[in-house]
């Protein structure tokens, strides 16, 4: 399960077959053209009948012209339209209709598998090795991680990498048949685990561990049908395991997380139906999930919380709402995608505005959360920056100064919520991360100026 002294769970590489496309278009082929045309015609007709004339002051012509060409006018118009109760009801009706009849998921980048399991396209590609960055890229990143780990250890700070699974791996049997027939290639996750083990980087392999848990009885769902992250029960397992692994590395007695009295409920709590809520749809019955009725942390003499920093994506959120960051990890922060700081605060700087060396020294441990699709770099760039900081600090600070204008522009974009919403859709369509698109957009704006 981990590279920290525990016996590691081996993950066997997948077999190769012929490559085929894995987009939702194969599922949507069942959708009748006539049926769709009729549906949209009726929806449009009813929309124009029931729409109320806006009473607010019309925007100036120049304002419309400016926002029209940068796409924000259309985005604002669409958002305003969708907020009208009647239109929102139509959208919900349309989404229910298309999902129930055609298994169509009206969220960009998502598609339906067997038994109403919903999957994410880019995570499926990662599970099948379609986004592999190559042996050399992975080896170089792990080499840097080993150097950073050893450097931090001398400073009394422990580093631990968490490899989190995606649903397409843990419940691959629920993928559509046309996906299962595609070629399986070497994945970034497989290479990272192999190289981390060989080079001595501390890690927990939750991808393999979840496969083991899935084979045991009682078999509690580790992913929900309608959720994009590991299930609430799976999060409890991850938090418990991580605390115990970090405890061994630190050589202290951290407060353990205890959970039990597992209740099976046909109701999705917390994030267990976040995909459906984005459409938005009511969660169907028949989605039984496991929820612990009892949860507690050790308290009292002999237990010592230590301040731990988490770096990674939204998979890490469970460490906050399950109490680990407060009770076991000394009210540590998360650097979300190595950009923003959680807990959120309007006065928070972004990570690039901090003195990295000083910030690192505030912690006794650092957790890098990496799900299978976010493995281009470890810690979303943290390892690269920390490596440069400790090997060539002059160059590190010079590069930070050079990137200041770009980072300021990126920050301005991230604070523009309507623009971020539009860029999220564009990023999904382009098959790149939101941060990558924000960087491209910021660079274009700087060049224009």
Query: Would you kindly state where each structural domain of the chain is located, as residue ranges?
Result: 25-104, 133-393, 403-449
Which sign, positive or negative, has the C-alpha torsion 113, 116, 117, 121?
Answer: positive
**Has this prediction a pTM greater than 0.85?**
no
| Residue 108: both structure tokens together | 């960009």
pLDDT of the chain, 449 residues: tens digit per residue: 545 444 333 333 333 333 344 444 444 444 555 555 555 665 555 555 455 444 444 455 554 444 444 444 445 545 555 556 656 666 667 776 666 666 777 777 889 999 989 999 999 999 999 999 999 999 999 999 999 999 999 999 999 999 999 999 999 999 999 999 999 999 999 999 999 999 999 999 999 999 999 998 788 999 999 999 999 999 999 999 999 999 999 999 999 999 999 999 998 888 998 887 777 777 778 889 999 999 999 998 999 999 999 999 999 999 999 999 999 999 999 999 999 999 988 888 999 999 999 999 999 999 999 999 999 899 999 999 999 999 999 999 999 998 889 989 998 998 888 888 888 888 877 777 788 889 898 998 888 86
Q: Assign 3-class secondary structure to 228-280.
A: CCECHHHHHHHHHHHHHHHHHHHCCCCCCEEEEEEEEECCCCCCCCHHHHHCC
* Phi, psi angles (nearest 5°) of residue 429: -65, -35
The span from the CA of 388 to the CA of 246, in Å, is 25
Q: Assign 3-class secondary structure to 79-132.
A: HHHHHCHHHHHHHHHHHHHHHHHHCCCCCCCEEECHHHCEEEHHHHHHHCCCCC
> In a 3-state reduction of DSSP, which class is residue 7?
coil
| DSSP codes, 324-384 | HHHHTSTT--EEETTTEEES--TTPPPGGGS-HHHHHTT-SEEEEEEETT--SSGGGGHHH
Residue 203 near residue 249, CB atoms below 8 Å: no
Rounded to the nearest 10 degrees, how much is the dihedral formed by the CA atoms of 189, 194, 196, 202?
80
Nearest alpha carbon to residue 411 among 435, 427, 391: 435
* Phi, psi angles (nearest 5°) of residue 284: -65, 155
């Amino acid at each position: 399960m981990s590279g920290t002294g525990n016996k590691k769970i081996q993950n066997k590489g997948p077999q190769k077959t012929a490559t085929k496309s894995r987009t939702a278009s194969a599922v949507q082929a069942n959708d009748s053209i006539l049926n769709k045309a009729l549906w949209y015609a009726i929806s449009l007709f009813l929309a124009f009948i029931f729409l109320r004339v806006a009473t607010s002051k019309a925007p100036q012509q120049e304002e419309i012209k400016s926002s029209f060409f940068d796409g924000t006018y259309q985005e604002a118009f669409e958002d305003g339209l969708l907020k009208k109760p009647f239109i929102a009801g139509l959208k919900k009706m349309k989404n229910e209709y298309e999902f129930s009849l055609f298994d169509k998921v009206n969220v960009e980048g998502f598609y339906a598998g067997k038994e109403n399991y919903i999957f994410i396209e880019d995570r499926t590609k990662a599970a099948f090795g379609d986004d592999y960055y190559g042996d050399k890229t992975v080896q170089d990143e792990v080499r840097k991680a080993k150097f950073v780990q050893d450097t931090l250890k001398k400073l009394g700070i422990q580093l631990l990498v968490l490899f989190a699974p995606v649903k397409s791996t843990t419940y691959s049997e629920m993928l559509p048949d046309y996906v299962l027939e595609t070629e399986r290639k070497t994945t970034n996750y497989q290479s990272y685990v192999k190289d981390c083990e060989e080079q001595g980087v501390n890690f927990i392999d939750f991808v393999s561990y979840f496969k083991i848990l899935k084979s045991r009885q009682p078999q509690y769902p580790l992913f929900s049908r309608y959720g994009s992250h590991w299930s609430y029960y799976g999060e409890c397992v991850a938090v418990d395991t991580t605390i115990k692994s970090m405890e061994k590395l630190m050589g202290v007695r951290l407060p353990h997380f205890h959970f039990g009295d597992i209740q099976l409920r046909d109701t999705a709590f917390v994030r267990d139906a976040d995909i459906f809520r984005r459409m938005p749809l009511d969660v169907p019955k028949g989605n039984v999930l496991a929820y612990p009725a009892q949860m507690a942390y050790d308290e009292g003499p002999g237990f010592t919380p230590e301040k731990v920093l988490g770096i990674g994506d939204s998979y890490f959120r469970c460490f906050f709402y399950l109490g680990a960051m407060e009770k076991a990890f000394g009210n540590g922060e998360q650097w979300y995608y190595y950009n923003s700081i959680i807990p959120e605060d309007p006065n928070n700087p972004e990570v690039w505005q901090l003195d990295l060396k000083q910030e690192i020294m505030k912690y006794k441990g650092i957790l890098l959360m990496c799900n299978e699709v976010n493995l281009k770099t470890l810690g979303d760039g943290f390892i690269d920056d920390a490596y440069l900081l400790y090997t060539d600090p002059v160059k590190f600070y010079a590069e930070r100064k050079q990137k200041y204008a770009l980072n300021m522009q990126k920050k301005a974009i991230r604070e523009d919520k309507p623009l971020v919403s539009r860029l999220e859709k564009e990023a999904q369509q382009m098959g790149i991360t939101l941060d990558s698109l924000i960087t491209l957009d910021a660079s274009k704006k700087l060049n224009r100026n």
